[in-house]
């Protein structure tokens, strides 16, 4: 997943459920948590504290879905059939994760090939983990089928009316399964430690094209009846579906764009370097193993920058700005084809194995295609955000190897840790061992653990054998362990200079000291990254006259670039620059991407006037927000209303 260069969790309240205490499921059977750090680090057994599933007893090997898309009732209905591997031959139960599902019937295939009813119990719902579904399987059935319907407010699905789409004619639906939202639309062992193949037969209205994280045929007829197959094993969070007025335009023989008709040409132009990105990654880290790499551009309500669903990346339209300055988002999601989709973290405590590796690979792709200057600027922006995100209060989440019990909600990982610190650690290893040696190590790592879900300890063991022991004297065990197990950033972290950012710093200082605005001839050539750095380096507040001068010169209020807007608008709010309020309201209603809008909401709620603007705007925007975004905004507003307000 790509949260991109601003932390999603600016403070604990901004992440999904950040204000929520660690929950105990209502049936008294909380998902298991490892008892000791030492055990979690050294034991090969995977214990996922965020799932009810018991993969040590039985594992899903294959999933067969039969689903019907009902836009009117905002519902998926049908069945899920599991081919099971009974690991424990004495086990007599199949335990699945669900959230808000209406379970209608469960049957099992007997040894004679006939299907019979199975007894089951659906536990009371826990707000975070959902309901544990326990199926009695005394015969240890080879296949089990669950017939069910989803809830209209399933956390992993968003249903858009035609008015919320670009074309305004056809409704739209899409999923977001990561981290533990797949259980809201399919009963599953919803843990990344379980991987399965899947097939699906999906019916929908004939004017809706249906796509999944599978073998989408660019030439498929839009006829309301669709078949899918995913032959490689994937974890539940990579299960994805979308339906709407979608057309395909190719980029290369093995990649292309799906989007609403008006968006498709713009997306193809913006993402035209996708094949070059694929070739670059293959030269570095081995073959692309997923056949096709297509991109689905979703409506602006998509809560994230991108989601690395195999064969079909989901991408935000906010990355399409006309100059390819934000296409590192595509490099990131493509990189997940190696780090994440191919080699997967086994629990959310190991999330850096996905996102840190991917952020590192992304930066390498950007360096090859767009130059080291741009790659360095993007790294520096991320590291500046990390420094502001890391506080004394969140130290337990600053270690790459998070201790059991520290992460109550898998959506609460610190972006700075799993993305930026993880990538920084790999850059440290690259510099110490040499790029050629480290590239060979990574390529071997992806091959060795291909199509497996692994823990941080497995990475540690592999790195010790293939880096530390192979090249003695380059990195000590103490240095290696400090990155993994200690909070903060080690003092030996490599530093990245940027002459272009130095020039931006000088221009900003000249304006702040003497009122001399940077020359328009120079700023006209600034990239998005340079504008981001210019605004980010401003003092916490500016005077109204200063803000007016910047607006008059550069028209920052109303900017169509979300990366600039998400930094400019919080500055205007903190400074009491109410002239930007109308543009702020329009921006928050137009965009549902969390990392772009949450910084502004978090500033607005700090004053009575701002809180009112936030509430009024949210009331209008909420119908177009994804449930994940809605919960984030509601949490920030609720926390502000519960605290004393200081007039400004």
Question: Are residues 189 and 177 in contact, defined by beta-carbon separation less than 8 angstroms?
Answer: no
Residue 602 CA to residue 625 CA, distance in Å, equals 17
Apex CA 155: angle with CA 326 and CA 94, to 5°? 120
3-state secondary structure of 179: coil
Q: Taking a C-beta distance cutoff of 8 angstroms, is the pair 75, 149 a contact?
A: yes
CA-to-CA dists, residue 566 to 330, 411, 606, 621, angstroms? 20, 21, 17, 17
Active-site hit among 109, 270, 333, 536: 333
Q: Nearest Cα to 128, choosing from 640, 636, 628?
A: 628
Other CB atoms within a 10 A radius of the CB of residue 405 amount to 16
- Is residue 615 within 8 A of residue 607, CB to CB? The reply is no
Contacts of 636 (CB under 8 A, 6+ apart): 13, 14, 598, 601, 602, 605, 614
Active site residue 601: no
In the structure encoding, which two tokens stand for residue 115, read together?
């299907």
Nearby residues of 581 by Cβ (< 8 Å), 6 or more positions away: 613
DSSP summary character for residue 142: S
Task: Give the distance, in angstroms, between the CA of residue 359 and the centroid of all CA atoms in the same chain.
Answer: 12
- Residue count of the chain: 648
Q: What are the distances in angstroms from CA 258 to CA 190, 213, 242, 296, 316?
A: 27, 13, 11, 5, 12
Helices and strands (H, E) in the chain, number of each type = 20, 21
For residue 179, whether the previous peptide bond is cis, meaning omega lies within 30 degrees of 0, is: yes
Whole-angstrom CA distances from 13 to 7, 127, 393, 598, 602 are 12, 17, 13, 10, 9
* Residue 12: count of CB within 10 angstroms of its CB: 16
**Burial of 116 (C-beta count, 10 Å sphere; 0-12/13-18/19+):** exposed
Residue 309 to residue 293: CA distance in whole angstroms: 10
Measured between alpha carbons, how far is 129 from 141 in angstroms, rounded to an integer? Answer: 26
CA 7 to chain centre: 12
* Closest by CA position to 91, among listed 44, 144, 50, 46: 144
Burial class of residue 9 in the structure, from the number of CB atoms within 10 Å of its CB (0-12 exposed, 13-18 middle, 19+ buried)? buried
Q: Is 333 a catalytic residue?
A: yes
Cα–Cα distance measured from residue 514 to residue 605, given in angstroms and rounded to the nearest whole number: 33
Catalytic residue among 419, 569, 577, 601: 419
User: In b/e form, how buried is each residue of 462-497, taking b as 16+ CB within 10 angstroms?
Assistant: bbeebbbeeeeeebeeeebebbbbeeebeeebeebe
DSSP string covering 509-546: HHHHHH--PPPHHHHTT--HHHHHHHHHTS-S---HHH
Q: What are the percentages of helix, strand and coil residues in the chain, rounded to 5? A: 40, 20, 40
Catalytically active residues, by annotation: 333, 419
């Amino acid at each position: 997943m790509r949260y991109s260069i601003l932390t999603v969790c600016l403070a604990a309240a901004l992440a999904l459920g950040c204000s929520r205490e660690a929950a105990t499921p209502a049936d008294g059977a909380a998902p298991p948590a490892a008892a000791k750090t030492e055990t979690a680090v050294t034991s090969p057994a995977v214990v996922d504290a965020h799932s009810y599933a018991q993969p040590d007893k039985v594992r899903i090997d294959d999933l067969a879905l039969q689903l019907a898309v009902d836009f009117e009732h905002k519902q998926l209905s049908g069945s899920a059939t599991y081919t099971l591997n009974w690991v424990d031959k004495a086990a007599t139960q199949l335990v699945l994760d669900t959230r808000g599902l209406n379970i209608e019937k469960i049957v099992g295939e007997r040894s004679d090939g006939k299907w019979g009813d199975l007894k089951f119990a659906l536990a009371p719902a826990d707000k975070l983990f959902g309901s544990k579904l326990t199926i009695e399987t005394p015969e240890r059935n080879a296949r089990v089928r669950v017939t069910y319907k989803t809830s209209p407010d399933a956390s992993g699905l968003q249903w858009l009316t035609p008015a919320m789409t670009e074309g305004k004619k056809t409704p739209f639906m899409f999923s977001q399964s990561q981290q533990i939202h797949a259980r809201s639309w399919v009963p599953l062992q919803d843990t990344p430690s379980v991987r399965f193949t899947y097939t699906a037969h999906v019916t929908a209205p004939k004017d809706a094209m249906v796509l999944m994280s599978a073998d989408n045929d660019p030439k498929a007829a839009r006829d309301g009846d669709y078949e899918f197959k995913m032959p490689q094993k994937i974890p539940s969070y990579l299960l994805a579906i979308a339906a709407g007025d979608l057309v395909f335009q190719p980029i290369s023989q093995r990649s292309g764009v799906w989007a609403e008709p008006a968006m498709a040409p713009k997306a193809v132009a913006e993402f035209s370097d996708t094949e070059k990105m694929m070739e670059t990654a293959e030269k570095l880290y081995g073959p692309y193993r997923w056949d096709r790499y297509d991109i689905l551009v979703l409506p602006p309500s998509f809560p994230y920058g991108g989601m690395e669903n195999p064969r079909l990346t989901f991408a935000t339209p906010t990355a399409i700005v006309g100059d390819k300055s934000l296409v590192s988002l595509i490099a990131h999601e493509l990189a997940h084809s190696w780090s994440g989709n191919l080699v997967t973290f086994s629990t959310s405590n190991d999330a850096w194995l996905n996102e840190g590796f991917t952020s590192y690979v992304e930066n390498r792709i950007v360096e090859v295609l767009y130059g080291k200057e741009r790659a360095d600027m993007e790294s520096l922006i991320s590291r500046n955000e990390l420094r502001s995100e890391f506080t004394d209060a969140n130290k337990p989440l600053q270690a790459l190897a998070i201790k059991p019990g520290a992460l109550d909600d898998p959506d609460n990982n610190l972006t700075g840790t799993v993305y930026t610190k993880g990538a920084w650690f790999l850059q440290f290893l690259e510099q110490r061992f040499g790029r050629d040696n480290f590239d060979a190590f990574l390529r071997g790592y992806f091959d060795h653990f291909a199509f497996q879900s692994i823990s941080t300890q497995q990475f540690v063991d592999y790195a010790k054998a293939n880096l530390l022991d192979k090249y003695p004297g380059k990195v000590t065990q103490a240095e290696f362990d400090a990155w993994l197990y200690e909070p903060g950033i080690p003092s030996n972290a490599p530093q990245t200079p940027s002459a272009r950012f130095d020039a931006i710093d000088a221009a900003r200082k000249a304006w702040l000291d003497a009122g001399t605005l940077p020359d328009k001839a120079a700023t006209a050539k600034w990239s998005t990254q340079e504008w981001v750095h210019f605004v980010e380096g401003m003092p916490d507040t500016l005077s109204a006259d200063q803000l007016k001068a910047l607006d008059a010169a550069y028209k920052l209020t109303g900017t169509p670039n979300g990366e600039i807007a998400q930094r400019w608008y919080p500055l205007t709010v903190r400074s009491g620059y109410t002239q930007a309020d109308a543009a702020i309201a329009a921006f928050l209603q137009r965009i549902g991407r969390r990392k772009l809008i949450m910084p502004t909401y978090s500033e607005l709620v700090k004053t009575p006037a701002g809180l009112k603007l936030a509430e009024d705007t949210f009331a209008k925007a909420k119908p177009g927000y994804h449930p994940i975004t809605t919960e984030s905004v509601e949490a920030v507003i609720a926390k502000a209303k519960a605290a004393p307000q200081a007039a400004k």
